[in-house]
Structures are given as C-alpha cells and as structure tokens.
A and B are shown apart, each in its own frame.
Chain A
Amino acid sequence: MQDRITELADAYRQARAELEFLDSNMWIGRPRNPEFATGFDIHALRDRLQRYGIAGGLVSHFAVLTYDVEWANEQVLAETAGTGLSAVVTLTPEMFEPPEAGRAYLSGAIARGARAARVFPATHNFTLRAWCSGALLQALADSRLPLIIWHTEASWDEIRNLCESYPEVPVIVEGTPKKILYYGRQYYPLLGRCPNLRLELHNLVSYLGVEDVVRRFGARRLVFGTYMPVYDPNTALMQVTHARLSSEDKRLIARDNLAELMAGVKPL
C-alpha cells in the first residue's frame, strides 16, 4: 500500500509541475480567521508557490474586505512589484466620482502591474447596476480588466445583468465558503448565455464539475485558482491534473486562459 501511495503522489506532483499553473486567487494580508494556516505575507506566498509548483498569477489583499480598499490596493501593488506576480485591485463606485478620477486611479494601477479587479457589492453595500456602478464598469470594459466576483456578493441575476450590459468585461465568478454547486441551475444557463462569464476552480468542486463544464461550454470558460492560503491548493490542482480531458484543455485551464486575460488588459 505504501509503495502504491508513493507512486500516486509522485505521479501527481509530476503532473502538477508539467502544467505550470497560473493562479488567479492568491491572497496576502491576514484573513479574518486564519484557521490552521500561517504566513500571510508575500514571502510566505512565494514559498508556497514553489512548494506547490505554481508559476505565478494574481494576488489580492484581505484588508479590502474590511478596512480600507485603497490602502489594501496600495499594499498589494507594492508587495507584488518586481516579483513576477500581478496585483488585483478592489474597486468601489465612489472611486469613480467623477469618472475621470476612477479612470486615472485604474490607469495608474494597471501601469503598476494590476491585471484584474475585484468588487464586493454585498460586503461594501452597493449594487452593480449602472446607476450605481456604471462608471466603474465602463472603465473595466474599456481596459478589458478581468473582474473577479464572489458568488455570495451578487445574485446570479445581477451577474447576468453585468455580463450582458458590459460584454467586454471578462467576468470571473468564484467565492467561498458556500458551495457554488448549489447554483448549477443558474450558472449553467448563464455560461450558455454570456460568453464573457468564466468560473474559477477553487470552489467548483462539484462531482465531475470541471469535465461537465468543459463538455458543455469548452475549456476556455474555466480559470484556475486556489484561494491560497485559506484553502489547500491541492483542492483545485488535482481537479486539473487528473481531469479526464485532453492535454490542450488542461493547459488552457491551468494557465493559458488566465494568461490570455492578463495579456488582454489595455491602458486606459
């Protein structure tokens, strides 16, 4: 039994290394409840990337949830500078009053390496409707900055409206701790309806969920992410390494889809 386990573990690590994962969902800063994790700065994150064979990706800061969005954005922009990692900046509607101010802020963040944005409409008490977030969303559309949103932060109908109103915005839905699998009856039709909608992997843990999405909508609709250091990255990693998919599809999910989105960001 032990020989068999060693063989399985070695094969898994080898498959992991070969795919050169890019992770869209890495965090620094202290989470509200660290649970069993330790080490929340950029150095600890980089050590973990090496440990799990992840080549790079997008980094967010936990303080955007609770404290000061612009302060936390500054932290993550500064911490990722020169590391090969890219920052995710969090946005709120008032940052775009007037719209030119928000666009200047976003332009500066992109110049410093930001390659995605987040919004937290429920936690930050706003709506994604145009009357409230129109300037913010238009800036994202103009810059093609991918927008990452937790499924617990907006209704699926709001996400539909967002995707349909701003088809140039690449929208990536993820989020914990509530299982996203409860909402298959909503996100499946939306994937069919909104070509700019993508799902991230760390909470797409439903049985055969990765293969089922690829079979129905193609591998380009999935973006790899781990929610490290809150989640064990192996949760998402093995979903790709051991997917019953072609090598090309695995490569798209593991890195190419995110790389393409990051490369598509334009200066404002």
Chain B
Amino acid sequence: MIVDSHTHLGKVAGLMLPAGATVAGMLALMDHLGIDLAVQMHHAGLFECFEEAYAASLAAYESSSGRLLYALIYNPRYGDESLALIRRSFDAPGAVAIKIHPGQHLLFPEDPSYEPIWQLAAEKGVPIITHSWALSDYNPTQRFATPEHFEHYLSRYPGVNLVMGHAGGRYEGHLAAAELARRYPNAYLDLSGDVYGFGLIEWLVGQVGAERLLFGSDAVWMDPRTTIGRILDAEIGTAAKALILGDNACRLFRLGA
C-alpha cells in the first residue's frame, strides 16, 4: 500500500490554490499516481480554526471512503480547548495522528504548553507529526521548528513516535533531523515539501535507515509527483523504497496491509 503521509486540505489566505485542491481532486490524482491512502492535516487547524479542521477532516474521511485519513491538530495557544476537542475526536474514525506546527503557532517545541499533547499521544498510542525546518533568511518563524528543539519531549516520551515533517526542511535542518533520528529510535522523518536536494534520499537512508523515512508530498502545496519520482528512482534498494512509500506508514499509523 502506498501512503502519502503528509497532505493538507483547505484554503490558505496567502496562497492561490488550483481548482483541483479538493477532496475529489486529491482522490483523482492519488488514483492517477497509484497512491492508496493519505494522511491530511487540514489548514483550518493550523490557523486557529481547529473545530472547522476537525469537521472538514471527518467529512473528507467519509466522502473519500476512508482513503483520506487525518491528523488532529493541537494548538498550544488554545491548549485546553484544543486538547479537549482532540480527546473527543479520537472516538470518531479516521484519526491516525496528532499534528503540531510550532512555526505556525509561534511556540518553541520544548514549551510546557506541548506537554499535555505528548501525554495524550502516549495514552492513545498515536504518533505526533510536526513541521520541522531550518533557520530561514526569508521566513523567521522557521526558528520555532528547527529539529534540535524537539529533543526535549522526544527524550521524555520514548513511547511516542515523532515524525519530523520535511526532514528538517533545508540542508542544516536535514543534518540536525538526521542527528536526532540517529539518537532517538522514536524519531521519524518525512520527505514532504520542497526538499529536493540532489542525493538527499540516499543520504538520509544511509544516515537513519529506510525504516525511519516516510513518503509525504505536502499536497496541496506541493505536487506529489515532485517526490514520488525521486523515491522510485533513488539509488536505494526496492525493499527500502517499499518501506518509505508505504510500509513504514502502515506500521506507524496502524493501517491495514
């Protein structure tokens, strides 16, 4: 089963998204590319509208016949409300992970306000997916999501798996994310976003092993074709490609084979 572990739905005020950035559009492209399932993290939840994110995610899950799974988004700025909604929402089908985005919510990952969500992830046995990136000279909020900041809770919750989205984002972030993954067996990296460096996939496999990498596209920002081709053509074995393209996600998100 091929699983896109990092997608989004919903509008972004600062972006002009194409007409196909919808549930139907996403399913049509998944069919075209042979992607069986996707984990989506609704934009509304990244932008403080977490009730809307949950409702839209559940609707997408149902209208996609269960192919668009979702992560419940925790907003530490509204910790109590957000946590209560997530706790209730695990009773509904389709929720396979918790999402945090320190760069969007402008709180460093070691902030105490994240502790309740790590506790809940431990209690429910679900992974946390986070945005991770490198310091950026054009986006200062990326400083909230550089990989080293995740060590605080990674070390305190060895039973909670953390997926560092975008594998650290840029070169220095890739180095730091790989370093963290080498030291913590509960750290995973996904290949989503515009992280297209020549030799990156081969380097990551050499550093952390294919068992710790996941295919993700970052749709509906980036097109999945920009990442699938790189994995299919990477100079790694077919077994490693199978792990990255789906087997790891099936294990991590407890998806049926």
Please list the residues of chain A having a beta carbon within 8 angstroms of any beta carbon in chain B: 1-2, 4-6, 8-9, 12-13, 33, 35-38, 52, 177-179, 181-182, 184-185, 188, 202-203, 205-212, 228-239, 241-244
Contact = CB atoms under 8 A, between A and B. Distances in A.
Contacts of A230: 197-198
Q: What 10 A-B pairs are tightest by C-beta distance, nearest first?
A: A238-B229, A36-B199, A234-B229, A184-B16, A37-B198, A9-B232, A207-B220, A235-B196, A238-B225, A234-B230
Interface in B123-168: 138
Interface residues of B, number: 47
A235 B229 contact: yes
B34 interface: yes
B238 interface: yes
B241 A5 contact: yes
B220 A182 contact: no
A52 B241 CA distance: 18
B108 interface: no
Nearest to A37: B198
A211 B20 CA distance: 10
A12 B238 contact: no
Nearest to A242: B225
A206 B138 CA distance: 19
Contacts of A185: 16
Interface of B: 1-2, 14-21, 25, 29, 32-34, 138, 170-171, 194, 196-203, 219-223, 225-230, 232-233, 238-239, 241-242, 245-247
A207 B20 contact: yes
Contacts of B221: 179, 181, 206-207
B232 A205 contact: no
A69 B161 CA distance: 50
22 contacts: A1-B247, A2-B241, A13-B233, A33-B171, A35-B199, A36-B197, A36-B198, A38-B199, A178-B138, A181-B221, A182-B15, A207-B21, A208-B20, A208-B29, A211-B20, A233-B198, A234-B233, A235-B196, A235-B227, A238-B226, A242-B32, A242-B229
Given A9-B233, A237-B229, A212 B18 contact: yes
Contacts of A37: 197-199
A231 B196 contact: yes
Contacts of A8: 34, 232
Contacts of B20: 207-208, 211-212
Given A185-B16, A188-B16, A208-B20, A2 B232 contact: no
B200 A210 contact: no
A232 B199 contact: yes
A209 B194 contact: no
A34 B119 CA distance: 41
B199 A208 contact: no
Contacts of A234: 229-230, 232-233
Contacts of A237: 229
Given A232-B201, A242-B229, 16 more contacts: A5-B238, A35-B199, A36-B200, A178-B138, A203-B194, A206-B18, A206-B222, A207-B220, A207-B221, A208-B20, A208-B25, A231-B197, A232-B200, A238-B232, A242-B225, A244-B32
Contacts of A178: 138
Contacts of B197: 35-37, 230-232
A66 to B, nearest CB: 16
Contacts of B219: 207
Nearest to B250: A1
A203 B196 CA distance: 10
Contacts of B2: 4
A212 B19 CA distance: 8
